[in-house]
Amino acid sequence: MTTHGRVRPVVRAPHPVLSRPAPEVDPTDPEVVQLAADLLATMRASPGCVGLAAPQLGVPGQLFVVDVTGHPKATTVHGVITLCNARIVTATRWRPGREGCMSVPDLTGDVKRAGRVVVEGVAPGTGEPVSLATEAFEARALQHEIDHCAGLLFLDRVAGAHAIHPRKVYL
Amino acid sequence: MRELAITVIGRDRPGIVADVAAALSGLGANLTDSTMTRLRGHFAMTLICTSPAAPAEVEAALASLADNGLLAMVRPVQPDDITAPTGEPYLLTVHGADRLGIVAAVTRVLADAGGNITDLSTRLSGDLYLLVAEVDLAPEAVDAVTARLAEVGTALGVGVTLRPNEADLL
Ligand SMILES: [Zn+2]
């Protein structure tokens, strides 16, 4: 892919685009291909960011990127994953974990996610179907991004009234 | 022995919990259920204790800790049986722009359906207002409550999610 991605501002809650289910996208639409490149560029430019979904750039659409390469909690690693119209086909081995989000920068939450998932979607550009099985941190990241495409934040999944925590500032 | 309900609110500082606990134990008051948190930097503690000392005596002991304006209230309460759950446990999340009346509107929907809130926290983080509540609800009421919450959420411009809160048995 030769599309040059631009780093774009990430929108934050309570922006309404983050709370609305996003429509499916046409994976062969050049604007979708450009948006995928922008998501990747913006993720790359954001330290500690392992995934970003189109609504976080203010665009309602089922498109996201994930890359957990080098993350200490990652076991299975597929490198850069870019998917349109993705859905979870199977989800097993539910586990609690702490997660945060660039669109909710000051908070983290305890969220139970499937430790093993099969996800299906289509690749931007070609529109080819993609199916991938993964586990642990990569599975968590995919579920978080698919939630963004459905208008859900990790706040909508937290495990209890005291499962939200202020994010510590690390220097 | 009598049962006392106590709230203590003041400026947070290291050692405040130890001081409150010492004041109570000095009077022979025994902490049963308690919760403590910080609310926008203020120390806030609510507790029930069994005490041989009268409410006024306990309040005076806590007031003596008022190095920087500790507010303590002590009231006698009747020992109560633990209320049986009135339904199944659910979790509610509400998030959106800070706006007057969000908590009142959302909790009214739950109350109208006979829901009993068992734990609740709210937080203002920048422009984001957030509520998470644990609520016991009759399962047959959930569809109607979900629909009503969606209407209220749309009217207030907030996101609302209601979901079962399964306990993990390990
Ligand atoms: Zn996110």
**Token pair of A22, please?**
């996003």
Q: What are phi and psi of A18, to 5 degrees?
A: -80, -15
Q: How many domains does chain B have?
A: 2
C-alpha distance across the termini of chain B, in Å: 37
Using an 8 Å Cβ cutoff, are A107 and A162 in contact?
no
B169 domain-assigned: no
**CA-to-CA distance for B3 and A73, rounded, in angstroms?**
48
Identify which of A48, A51, A42, A19 has the alpha carbon closest to the alpha carbon of residue A155. A19
Q: CATH number for the domain including B139?
A: 3.30.70.260
Query: Where are the alpha helices (H) located in B64-166, listed in sequence order?
Result: 102-112, 142-156
Q: Is A156 on the interface with B (CB under 8 A)?
A: yes
- Nearest chain B Cα distance for residue A76, angstroms: 26
- Give chain B's length: 170
For Cα atoms B12, B14, B16, give the angle at the middle one, nearest 5 degrees. Answer: 65
A145 catalytically annotated: yes
CB nearest to B93's CB, from A12, A151, A156: A156
Strand partners, A13: none
How many Cα neighbours within 13 Å face the side chain of A167?
17
Using an 8 Å Cβ cutoff, are B139 and B87 in contact?
yes
Topology of the domain covering A16-166: Peptide Deformylase (3.90.45)
Q: What is the model's pTM?
A: 0.91
B52 and B68 housed in the same domain: yes
Residues in A 40-99 with any Cβ partner in B closer than 8 A: none
Written as tens digits, the pLDDT of chain A (171 aa) is 567 999 999 999 999 999 999 999 999 999 999 999 999 999 999 999 999 999 999 999 999 999 999 999 999 999 999 999 999 999 999 999 999 999 999 999 999 999 999 999 999 999 999 999 999 999 999 999 999 999 999 999 999 999 999 987 655
Strand partners, A94: A114
- ipTM (interface pTM): 0.89
B24 and B69 housed in the same domain: yes
What is the domain extent for residue B58? 2-81
State the residue for tokens 């008051």.
Answer: B29
Interaxial angle between packed helices B55-63 and B16-26, expressed in degrees from 0 to 180 and rounded to the nearest 10: 140
